[in-house]
Structure 1
Amino acid sequence: HLVRLIRTPITSQEPTVTWDPDAGKIDAAGLEGMDAVVHLAGESIAKGRWTTAKKARIVNSRVRGTKLLAETLAQLKQPPKTLISASAIGYYGDRGDTILREDSAPGSGFLAETSVAWERAAEPAARAGIRVVHPRTGVVLSTDGGALKEILLPFRLGVGGVMGSGKQYWSWIAFDDLIGALQHALKNESLQGPFNVVAPQPVTNREFVKTLGRVLSRPTIFPAPEFALRLLLGEMAEGLLLASARIEPAKLTATGYTFRYPDLEGALRALLK
């Protein structure tokens, strides 16, 4: 059965475990005897400018929670066999058209540093013999949140266009394949450490924009220059929209995962139909 980890107790039939990462508190007894723990929590990086306070929330919401959870699991009498602890392709930084796999070195910049610290925070669980898996997730295609939701309105209105040079690679993943990859990681014990949760066909921003326009039957003739994006969004533009990461899902492919949506147009048509 499924047990949710929550901050505030709720009156529900659904089993829950309470915790407060900021205060370093967690109901450890409620975690005893579980088969696996999936930890994906973290402050959204796609909403709001990256002020100093916002960046602190992005880091702390990931690192503190992961460290508390990993240390707690390591001390249990009946720890889970598996901890899936989220990461992101921000780990690789801005790398141009270099093909990146799980064994590629980390990049530089805020998102890379955050991702390195995020993964490192789970080390207590790994040292205790728990299989720790880090899904490095790409740009998730969903209308409920993330980068696509943020850019969808101008494209629907016909005023979207290429961002910056348009040459930067966007490594994306359909939401259904994100869920599929997590389920695959739970079942496949040969998966360990980081694995890239991206589709096998990354595209440049120019390709992404043209495909989105074609799916929506809208023009994409209004480019967003780099200086305008930096002025409007600050550091977030550099980290999310202008950085280039050409990433392969090497481990997913090697362990036999079959993508439901391997190509961008098929994924967008299924999502936006």
Structure 2
Amino acid sequence: MQHQGAHMTTEIIQGTNITKVYSTATGPLVALDDISFGINEGEFISLVGPSGCGKSTLLSILGGLEEKSLGKLSISGEQVTTPRPDVGMMFQTSVLFPWRTIRENIRLPGQILKLDKSDQVERTEALLNMVGLNGFGERYPDELSGGMKQRVGLARLLAHDPQVLMMDEPFGALDEFTRETMNLELLRIWEATKKTVIFVTHNIGEAVFLSDRVFVMTPRPGRLEGILEIDLPRPRTTDLMRDPRYSERVFEIRRMLGVDH
């Protein structure tokens, strides 16, 4: 079954000529240069590129955490200037509060946004179940493994039911086995919720495995080298990695990045 998001024409995010220039002691530093794209509702997009190419900067701009220098950016037809309640962000470290229980950590976005308490209590229990942490609600972060902490981070990301999920290398610090498990969990949740996902990764195989399309970025100044459609069947399992078409997409991205000559 091919995920519907790949065929939808409703563009939820539009970026035109996005440029980011930092002032430094040695003069202006161009981090992003003239990047344009559209992202459809329900799509899973990965951003790949070498370190320092501006992937995280672009994600911060998309999330309203950082201002662009030039260009236009809109989500659901509205210009992005500040963080939005319909966008959730997740980072490489789970940034959990050690003095709050797992349940209390998950409820935090709802408390900040002053959402209905009884709805949030119900949603928290559903999310604990969804990310496989049933029975861990009263534990504290330092009692959990790295993979379990990222499951909490994933539940907290979904707590206020944002339309768009922006994830900056969320599984980058995990061992390969745990990372693979989390990728499968993420796909399962994405299939169930139909969220729009923008996922930053250094791992080309991970990008191909997860995505509808992969945005390939150049070294600084970060430009969009190209966009590769990943026309592989869904739902995806680890068996896909044996498929020659999977390997072809991986090597195509490697060629675009200039790591295969």
TM-score (norm 1): 0.26
- The structure with the largest helix share of the pair is 1
Please state which structure has a larger fraction of its residues in strand.
Answer: 2
Q: Which has the higher contact order (CA 8 A, sep 6+)?
A: 2
